[in-house]
Amino acid sequence: MKGSLIALDQVGGRRAAARLIDGRLDDLLIDPLNDALPTPGTIFRAITDRPMKGQGGLMLRLPDKQRGFLRSAKVLGQGAPVLVQVTGYAEPGKAVPVTTKLLFKGRHAILTPGAPGINLSRKIRDEELRDRLLLAVCDIDLQGAGLILRSGAATADEHDIADETAQLADLAQAVLGDATGANPERLLDGSDAHELAWRDWGEPDQQDTAPGAFARHGIDDMIDALRAPLVELSGGATAWIEPTRALVAVDVNTAGDTSPAAGLKANIALARELPRQLRCRGLGGQITIDFAPLAKRDRRQVEQALQSAFRADAIETALVGWTPLGHFEMQRKRERQPFQ
């Protein structure tokens, strides 16, 4: 099948969404196993607790006896209420990462309280279109908040953009108006897998939302393949992607050919494939790659392949560099839970 397909279904009783590009699984979203686990985008009224000396942060009390961690927090008195938004999933046994920079995301726009101004996606380059989009939202009362028009706004109806922006402004005003209180409270739930697919993946060439969509398009088999650490690469090369408690380990192996050229080809193939594998497997945090044997003079080619591959990936990833042992390290935001 050529083109893009978005399928909505369930995996193990959990909502799930899959995106296929030319018949290949390109992205996968699955709701967490634990319904009580706050998903990214959830907004709380939290209560400040104790500062974490030496870590530049502050512990917060959240509802249901959960704990939040606010990095680089300003000095706040203990017991003070503060609005925070979940930025990612916590590692087992650790506090939920949160921020005070709230974002209200829609399909075409993002409202940014505390950061006034209207901005458009850099992907919208047509000046006439940019002017029309700005005109569509210029009369909406943003209550002092800022607005970012996403790239999807380029093909959307201007009335739909204006309606969504007004709804986001009303939602933000309702949440911000509930900032005070003596107890922690959940004010807004994060989006589930189906909502995220609708919001962030844009319009596909095809979509299938009827029950059994995953089975009809062979997605169940693709998901089963993600349960194994082995990844087949071009030219007979392979990679093993194995998450541990401390980090995600990636090991690259060539086939029977042990020449330097074969090693370079295998490493470049892994670099191009890695963003898709990490997206679909829901992996983040510290990632260490043990590349196939590689001459130092060829490292730059592998770095360029990694930079090019991750430039198109929506999840924030920092390419840190090479270690003295010749491994490559990166740090990836934990926007998703590891696939199970």
Q: Where are the domains of the chain?
A: 43-101, 104-179, 228-332
Residue 73: pLDDT band (50, 70, 90) is low
| Average pLDDT value over all residues in the chain | 92
- The class level of CATH for 43-101 reads mainly beta
Rounded average pLDDT over 52-79 = 82
**Lowest-confidence region among 100-104, 178-182, 256-260, 274-278:** 256-260
In this prediction, residue 259 carries a pLDDT of 84
Residue 62: pLDDT band (50, 70, 90) is very high
Strand runs labelled E in the chain? 4-11, 14-21, 24-30, 43-52, 57-61, 67-71, 81-86, 96-99, 104-105, 109-112, 117-120, 146-149, 185-188, 206-208, 230-232, 238-243, 248-253, 285-290, 317-322, 328-332
CA 220/CA 319 separation, integer angstroms? 32
In this prediction, residue 90 carries a pLDDT of 84
In this prediction, residue 75 carries a pLDDT of 59
CA 326/CA 289 separation, integer angstroms? 9
Rounded average pLDDT over 113-140 = 93
Q: What SS3 class is residue 96?
A: strand
Position 264, amino acid: L
Q: What SS3 class is residue 181?
A: coil
Position 85, amino acid: Q
pTM > 0.85: yes or no: yes
